[in-house]
A and B are shown apart, each in its own frame.
Chain A
């Protein structure tokens, strides 16, 4: 990990690809603020194949497909098959509502597939408040099907908010009941999440409590979401820094490339794969090089620097409107001072800017 920090990788390790902007839900915390209503802005199948061919040539190991809801794309299974034919591992993030026997049987045959279903509460009231009326039962049906067909790499993903914070333990139990791993993601003030920030983000006490909970549950996956509050005993379980532009980047439905899915702002636009090769965007884009050059001076003397390297730039940017600030929700900030309330107003100032 330290090596990757010092030198630019020749290609990302993985790519987050929002394969469609279409979605059948309208979740209140969604990072996609501008869900598209037509297919006209999406890469077509041939363009997807071209991009996968290039990712294969660059030896990108993994594609994380999201959206929108990926399974709304009629050619999505063909896209998955094509990626797998190149030995690229895929991870699909779905809302689970479109899963049926036919689809899950098809997924069962894909050895290189990881699938995560989003569920934001252990009971209908909580989940539906975030993901929409009646969604809990539909999502649970999808989860039951994945369990029934014994899909091996299957997780239930929850974006941790003030709304569902007290149900995280129950969600973990629910996942175990269905043979799934629990994955907890950080709520960020990106997309529609900016409007929900004040109501949803964890307060100082909850963040500290949550950090302890993660320490007690090493089987819970967090990806790179929570390194800002990672304790020493989870050091070996995930990334210790933001991987945006260093290990990963994001492609939007129309082929725009950004440092990560939470930084889909024109300020961070690195290029479009229909106009330039992905390789040249990765290696030469000023936006990606800017992300690689970020050094948070105030963090470098911090005892926790080796655990988080300044935390999440997306949270810092949308809350403080600066890339020179450390993550406002970092553990050191939580211990040293009250949560800076003026940052909340910063998030609101960004509502509607994309």
Chain B
């Protein structure tokens, strides 16, 4: 499966928690809890952009992560890189 690359929306903050990721949208102060363990990792670039990196091996897990990313994208919390 070809995975798209995603970055966190500029108005959104995200951090790692034991259960996975915790998103905060400064546009409405809403929180989004994402139970994904460590299957999505965050990396920050020098220009302040946060990228989401897939960290799972098998296709079944990748499909789950893909669904999570699609959902986060629909909510406007992450953006497909290059768009």
Contacts and interface: CB of A to CB of B under 8 A. Distances in A.
Contacts of B35: 3
A10 B26 contact: no
Contact of A7 (B19, B24, B26): B19
Contacts of B26: 61, 87, 89, 112
A317 B33 CA distance: 30
Contacts of B33: 1, 3-4
A61 B19 contact: no
Contacts, number: 34
B17 A9 contact: yes
B29 A10 contact: no
B18 A7 contact: yes
Name the residue in A4, A61, A87 with the highest tally of chain B Cβ atoms < 10 Å from its Cβ: A61
Chain B residues touching A, range: 10 to 19
Contacts of B17: 3, 7, 9-10
Contact of A3 (B15, B16, B19, B24): B19
Contacts of A89: 24, 26, 29
Contacts of A9: 17, 22
Interface string B8-24: 00000101111100101
Given A3-B33, A13-B24, A89-B29, A59 B19 contact: no
A76 interface: no
Given A3-B35, A4-B33, A112-B26, A61 B18 contact: no
A86 to B, nearest CB: 10
A305 interface: no
Interface of B is mostly: strand
Chain A residues touching B, range: 10 to 19
A178 interface: no
B56 interface: no
A343 interface: no
B8 to A, nearest CB: 11
B31 interface: yes
B13 A10 contact: no
A56 B74 CA distance: 27
Interface in A1-51: 1, 3-4, 7, 9-11, 13
B31 A13 contact: yes
B15 A10 contact: yes
A61 B17 CA distance: 14
A9 B13 CA distance: 15
Contact of B13 (A4, A7, A59, A114): A59
A7 to B, nearest CB: 5
Nearest to B35: A3
Given A3-B35, A9-B17, A87-B13, A62 B29 contact: yes
Nearest to A62: B29
Interface string A53-71: 0000001011000000000
Contacts of A87: 13, 26
Contacts of B24: 13, 61-62, 89
Contacts of B15: 10-11, 59
A153 to B, nearest CB: 9
Contacts of A62: 24, 29
A59 B12 CA distance: 12
Contacts of A3: 17, 19, 33, 35
Interface of B: 13, 15-19, 22, 24, 26, 29, 31, 33, 35
7 contacts: A3-B19, A3-B35, A4-B33, A13-B22, A13-B24, A62-B24, A89-B26
